[in-house]
Chains A and B, each alone.
Chain A
Amino acid sequence: MSITEVQDNIVEEFSLFDDWMDKYNLLIDLGKELPVIDPKFKVKDFLIEGCQSKVWLHPGFDGNLITFTADSDAIITRGIVALLIKVLSNRSPDEIINSDLYFIDKIGLRQNLSPTRSNGLLSMVRQMKLYAIAYNAKNK
Chain B
Amino acid sequence: MRDIAEIRADFPILNRKVYDKPLVYFDNGATTQKPQCVIDAVDEVYKSYNGNIHRGVHYLSDMSSEAYENSREKVRSFVNADKREEIIFTSGTTGSINGIAFSFGEQYIKPGDEIILSRLEHHANIVPWQMMCERKGAVLRVIPINDRGEIILEEYYKLLSSRTKIVSVTQASNALGTVLPLIEIIGAAHSVNVPVLIDGAQGIQHGIIDVKALDCDFYAFSGHKIYGPTGIGVLYGKEKWLTELDPFQGGGDMVDKVTFEKTTYNELPFKFEAGTMNYPAAIGLASALDYVLSIGRENIESMEKELLSYATGRLSAIKGVKIFGTSDKKISTISFHINGIHQYDTGMILDKMGIAVRTGTHCAQPVMDRYGIDGTVRASLCFYNTKKEIDSLAEGIEKVKSMFA
Q: Which residues of A contact B (CB under 8 A)?
A: 20-21, 24-25, 28, 51-54, 73-77, 119
Contacts and interface: CB of A to CB of B under 8 A. Distances in A.
Interface of B: 19, 341-345, 347-349, 352, 359-361, 374-375, 399, 403-404
B374 to A, nearest CB: 8
B403 A119 contact: no
B306 to A, nearest CB: 32
B348 A51 contact: no
B360 A76 contact: no
B403 A28 contact: yes
* Overall SS of chain B's interface: helix
A108 to B, nearest CB: 11
A21 B352 contact: yes
Contacts of B349: 21, 24, 76
Contacts of B344: 52-53, 74, 76-77, 119
A24 B360 contact: no
B237 to A, nearest CB: 33
B149 to A, nearest CB: 21
B345 A20 contact: no
A54 B404 CA distance: 18
A24 to B, nearest CB: 6
Given A24-B352, A25-B403, A28-B404, A75 B345 contact: yes
A75 B359 contact: no
13 contacts: A20-B19, A24-B348, A28-B403, A28-B404, A51-B361, A52-B359, A52-B375, A73-B342, A74-B344, A75-B345, A76-B345, A76-B348, A119-B344
Contacts, number: 41
A20 B21 CA distance: 12
B175 to A, nearest CB: 14
Contacts of A73: 342, 374
B360 A74 contact: no
B24 to A, nearest CB: 15
A105 B361 CA distance: 27
A76 B345 CA distance: 6
A61 B347 CA distance: 36
B372 to A, nearest CB: 14
B363 to A, nearest CB: 9
B352 A20 contact: yes
Given A21-B352, A73-B374, 9 more contacts: A20-B19, A20-B352, A21-B349, A24-B349, A52-B360, A54-B374, A74-B342, A76-B348, A76-B349
Contacts of B347: 52
A75 B401 CA distance: 13
Nearest to B19: A20
Nearest to A52: B344
A39 B5 CA distance: 54
A72 B159 CA distance: 41
B345 A74 contact: yes
A129 B341 CA distance: 30
A93 B218 CA distance: 57
A15 B347 CA distance: 23
A119 B347 CA distance: 12
Point out which of B341, B344, B347, B375 has the most chain A C-beta atoms below 10 A from its C-beta: B344
A25 B404 CA distance: 9
Contacts of B360: 51-52
